[in-house]
Structure 1
Amino acid sequence: MKKLTMRITKLFFGLFLYATGIVLTINANIGLSPWDVFHQGLSNTVGITMGQANIIGGFAIIIYNAFAGEKIGWGTISNMIFIGIFVDILMLNRLIPVFHNIILQIVMMGLGMLVIGAATYFYISVGLGSGPRDGLMIALTKKTNKSVRFIRSCIEITVVVLGSLLGGSFGIGTLIMAFAMGPCVQFVFKLFKFNVKGVKHRFIDEDIKYIKDRFILKNNRDNKVDCEDL
């Protein structure tokens, strides 16, 4: 129980950090990240918050990933729901300032990317499944047999185009994050000496099987034994 509590705490700390990093890059005000261009476009079109747009986008992606055969973890579901909630809490309460000095804006964007890198380490290292968008990248890589770099680039170009058509804004910061986010995440992973390939994830279907074996089948066996005794 103590180990599980620590894992859940680490997961939600990572999700809150991720939301903080997202808001830092948004409030830097020199261009949204590719996915946030789409989220903003969806937000403006439907009349919802950025956080709600994040949740809706994540939900749609999880459905696709499930049909594509990608396993879903509790961390995946938590990522979908709580990052959006935390983004709204931070933005609607204006807990992170907006800067207008270009130097401070660039520093803020760089800090946001590093925070997202640290957040990625925290939530992936608990081994409860990757985020919906990472799962989409993996699913498309398997289906097309193309490189991860190619698939990620295609996804980000697609969401920027769709987001722009929906009214999302992009700028120099969008290009910076498209090229610099990966190296920032990799830098943080090296800092924590974290090998993402060494993480063994536990997925929801495994927990369902455990519950079924532990309780349902056990009860059936016990009932069978009782009937035989009678």
Structure 2
Amino acid sequence: MKYIFYVVGILILTLGISLTIQSKLGTSPFDALLVGLSKNVGLTVGSWEIILALLLIGSNSLLARKKPEILGLITALITGIGIDMWLFLLHDVVSPDILFSQAVCFTTGLVIVGLGTATYLHTNFAPIPVDRLTLIIKELTRKTIFFSRTLIYLLFFMLAIFFNGPIGVGTLLTVCFGGYILHFFMPITGRILDNILNKS
């Protein structure tokens, strides 16, 4: 049952990511970096998700002083495939052109990202390397998830600018509120999933 929620959480997360990309208002700094690399270097957005995951797995191993979490690559593979799948399915269906519809698309995507991330993280099975990095920084700094998430967003923000990723007002909103939304959903999804898993 836990693994079902793991996959469902990732599918929810990748839907949210794709909606923020389609909104054209700017994406999270990490996703902006993926899109920038895809447009300027080649390969799909999902492919870069997998490539960067490999680099982050190595970095996380050094920071946590533990063996590399190879299972994180499985999550990155599912995430990369999910992003490419949703972008393909939403390409002609969700393509807002006016500001109001773009704002609705982005806001919906941002909330869905937080929900999906909180859902799959609670299963404690092979987090996406960037989310594992969030938890590692939280432990090292003894700060909140909000603090560690925002710190990571700022790092990828600078990299996204360098690779000419889709930086916009949505990027700023993600930096300001992405960590807070995740922090909000973590206890809620935790209670719901614990209740379901305990009953099963």
- Could you say whether these structures have the same fold, taking a TM-score greater than 0.5 normalized by the shorter chain as the test? yes
Change (3 A) 1:182 1:46: same
RMSD (Å), alpha carbons: 2.6
Q: Deviations over 1:132-188 (max 9, x none)?
A: 112223334555x47455543332222111121112120111101111112222333
Q: Are residues 1:123 and 2:142 paired?
A: no
Q: 1:95 to 1:88 in 2, by over 3 A?
A: farther
Which residue does 1:156 correspond to in 2?
153
Residues 107 and 155 (structure 1), Cα distance of their counterparts in 2 relative to 1, 3 Å cut? same
Q: Which residue is equivalent to 2:83?
A: 87
Change (3 A) 1:195 1:7: closer
Q: How far is the alpha carbon of 1:96 from its aligned partner?
A: 4.9
Of 186, 190, 200 in structure 2, the residue corresponding to residue 189 of structure 1 is 186
Q: Unaligned stretches of 5+ in structure 1?
A: 1-5, 199-230
Runs of 5+ consecutive residues of structure 2 not aligned to the other structure: 195-200
State yes or no: 1:55 paired with 2:55. Answer: no
CA distance in 2, matches of 1:150, 1:193: 20
- For the pair 1:38 / 2:33, whether they are aligned, the reply is yes
TM-score by length of 1: 0.72
**Map of 1:176 onto structure 2:** 173
Relative to structure 1, is the Cα distance of residues 67 and 134 closer, same or farther in structure 2, using a 3 angstrom cutoff? same
- Preserved CA contact (<8 Å) 2:150 2:179: no
Displacement of 1:10: 1.3
Cα deviation 1:94-115 (Å, max 9, x = unaligned): 3751111211211111111221
| Cα 1:96/1:176, change in 2 over 3 Å | farther
What is the percent sequence identity of the aligned residues? 24
Quote the residue 1:64 is aligned against.
59
Match of 1:133 among 130, 135, 151: 130
TM-score between both structures, scaled by the size of structure 2: 0.82
Residues 192, 163 of structure 1: alpha-carbon distance in 2 compared, 3 angstrom cutoff: closer
What's the secondary structure of 2:46's corresponding residue?
A: helix
The residue identity in structure 2 corresponding to 1:57 is L
SS at match of 1:82: helix
